[in-house]
Amino acid sequence: MHFARSLYIIIELTSYCERKIDVKKKMKWFMTSTLVLVVFGLVLGVGDARFVSAADEMTIWDKADEMLEAGEYREAASLYSIAIELNQGHPDLYLAHFNRAHALISLEMFEDAEDDLDTTIELAPDFPDAYKLRGILMLSIGYFEEAAADFDALIGLTPQDPYAYANRGTALSYLGSFDRALADFNTSIELDDTCAECYYNRAQLLFLMERTDDAQQDLERAGDLDPRYRDQEGY
């Protein structure tokens, strides 16, 4: 069994921005509603930027959110860059950095995404989703100590989040801290006993700990909760 290919990162990288795209929440105080992007030459890096009045009812930031939600990640990232430049000092600027990080991750621009998440946390140190997304990014690129540290911070902010424990358990598993990882997986299942991924990841850890019977029970439970796990290794 190849452990590095067996564990699942509990929250997928592409799942994050939906709760943060709230265009009604944002104050349009610096940009107001005087500028809207109507030519995508600016976004694509060609042509001139041409703007019209607020009659179009969409700011650059709004349009960035719309592009992100539509999966147009390159356009979204470009628009967020413009919005960030125009909105320095805005109280919700951390959301623009956070959402741009999401777009950059989808474009596999991981270092730039990490920079944006670092800025998000500097601007909003109590914003849990930034630690969550940065931790998952760190897991995905193999920086397990950094991932564990982010999930430590996340658990401090959201101690009832089962996925925070499950993802920290994954990081600790890769670091070889099996007993601590098992405790985290146990906690995640106590908080949410319907988490198929939690059972599956705990099963992989139990196999490594040579607790085969317990591991098989967890695999069966994962398969009962989500049939996709019936086809996974060890089931």
* Domain ranges across the chain: 17-125, 144-235
Give residue 37's pLDDT.
29
- CA angle 85/87/88 to nearest 5° reads 75
State mean pLDDT over 39-47.
30
Q: Is 234 helix (H, G, I), strand (E, B) or coil?
A: coil
Contact 131, 151 (CB under 8 A): yes
Provide the Cα torsion 148, 149, 155, 158; round to 10°: -120
Closest CA to 218 of 206, 226, 208: 206
pLDDT digits (tens, 9 = 90+) for 56-106: 335 899 999 999 999 999 999 999 999 999 999 999 999 999 999 999 999
Give residue 58's pLDDT.
55
State mean pLDDT over 214-222.
96
Give residue 217's pLDDT.
96
CATH superfamily entry for domain 144-235: Tetratricopeptide repeat domain (1.25.40.10)
pLDDT digits (tens, 9 = 90+) for 107-124: 999 999 999 999 999 999
pLDDT digits (tens, 9 = 90+) for 150-193: 999 999 999 999 999 999 999 999 999 999 999 999 999 999 99
Can you read off the two tokens belonging to residue 184? 């985290």
- E strand or H helix at 115: helix 110-123
pLDDT band at 25 (very low <50, low <70, confident <90, very high): very low
Q: What is the pTM of this model?
A: 0.76
pLDDT at 18 over 90: no
Give residue 230's pLDDT.
82
Contact 9, 170 (CB under 8 A): yes
Give residue 14's pLDDT.
37
pLDDT digits (tens, 9 = 90+) for 189-209: 999 999 999 999 999 999 999
pLDDT at 6 over 80: no
Classify burial at 166, counting beta carbons within 10 Å of its beta carbon; exposed 0-12, middle 13-18, buried 19 or more. Answer: buried
Per residue, what are the HEC states of 13-66? Answer: HHHCHHHCCCCCCCCCCCCCCCCEECCCHHHHCCCCCCEECHHHCCCHHHHHHH
How much of the chain exceeds pLDDT 90, in percent? 71
